[in-house]
Amino acid sequence: MVRKIIRDVVFLSQPSAPATPEDLGAADDLLQTLIAHRAGCVGMAANMIGVARRIIALDNGGEYLVLFNPEILKRSGPYEAEEGCLSLDGIRMAKRWRSVKIKYQNRDFQTRFKTFTGFPAQIIQHELDHCVGILI
Nearest to Zn ion by Cβ — which residue? 85
Among the listed ranges 2-10, 26-34, 85-93, 108-116, the one in contact with Zn ion (CB under 5 A) is: 85-93
Give 67 or 85: the residue with its C-beta nearer to Zn ion.
85
85: contact with Zn ion by CB under 5 A: yes
Helix (H, G, I), strand (E, B) or coil at 28: helix
Q: How far is the CB of 17 from Zn ion (least distance, A)?
A: 19
Pairing mode of beta strands 111-117, 91-105: antiparallel
> What are the start-end ranges of the H helices in the chain?
9-12, 24-36, 119-131
22 is catalytic: no
Residue 114 β-bridge partners: 102
The H helix count followed by the E strand count for the chain is: 3, 5
Among the listed ranges 20-28, 50-58, 79-87, 102-110, the one in contact with Zn ion (CB under 5 A) is: 79-87
Binding-site ranges for Zn ion (CB under 5 A): 85
